[in-house]
Amino acid sequence: MTVLLLILSVVVGVFLGKHFGKKEKLAKNLLILSAGFLITICLNEVFPQVYAYEGSYNLGIFVIAGVLLQMILEALTKGFEHGHFHHHNDHSILPVALMVGLFVHAFIEGIPLANEEHEFSPYLLGIVFHNLPISFILGAFLFNGKEKSRSSSFPALLIIALFALASPMGMLLGNYFNPDLQPYFLAIVGGIFLHISSVIIFESNKNHNIDWVKIGLVILGVALALVLHLFHEHPHAGHIH
């Protein structure tokens, strides 16, 4: 079910992007909503789990490593993860750079899923909620932009397929790691989540005016994550089976 949910989050996002992708405002609003959700999951779920593990040291270094890793990946994707798809008119980033950047990003996020005790954990739903707007932008970019002529080509389909399978492949690999490494992988992903969500939320508004719609969407995303948090039974970290 986890693998199916991960794949569907990409497929549905690409489908919506193909049909509604010309509405750039909709894509940005979805990203802002997901950012509010993601940063709440990060601070309310991921980091508490990370620091609750017994016998784990220097975890803050791995959080910082996650932030730096995402900054490096954005050199490949040109900020695709937080809605900068208007920079992707340069054909030189396709297909290899974008494909590698998105794949590595999603692959690493999938590794901690191998040791999640609950099938529909907040961490999983955080990935799904984040995949939808990214996939929406990907679908819009491939099917509605200057790359439309590539939409049925092998490189474009390969990008979509690899992005859809990246997190499940990461989860599969995670089964072969020592469970004691779980807090370190979670810390890295926490850094990735923190960077992406904070960039989306805190990017300067046009003319530095208050954007009430943006604030409302962030609050809505936070509220959705908090509701999920309240109804989620937390496993006791530090006791890994």
Tens place of pLDDT for every residue, the chain, 241 residues? 889 999 999 999 999 888 887 777 888 888 899 999 999 999 998 999 898 887 777 899 999 999 999 999 888 887 777 766 554 444 445 567 878 888 999 999 999 999 887 777 888 988 998 899 889 888 888 877 554 444 456 677 888 899 999 999 999 999 999 888 989 999 999 999 999 998 888 875 666 667 888 889 999 999 998 888 777 654 444 444 3
Task: Decide: 118 and 112 in contact? Cβ < 8 Å.
Answer: no
Q: Indicate whether this model's pTM tops 0.75.
A: yes
List all residues 6 or more positions away from 83 whose beta carbon is below 8 Å from its beta carbon: 27, 28, 31, 133, 137, 200
Task: Decide: 140 and 27 in contact? Cβ < 8 Å.
Answer: yes
Return the number of other C-beta atoms located less than 10 Å from residue 93's C-beta: 17
- What secondary structure does DSSP assign to 193-227, as a single string? HHHHHHHHHHSPPGGG---HHHHHHHHHHHHHHHH
The backbone region for 68, taken as left when phi is positive above 0, alpha when psi lies in -120 to 50, beta otherwise, is alpha
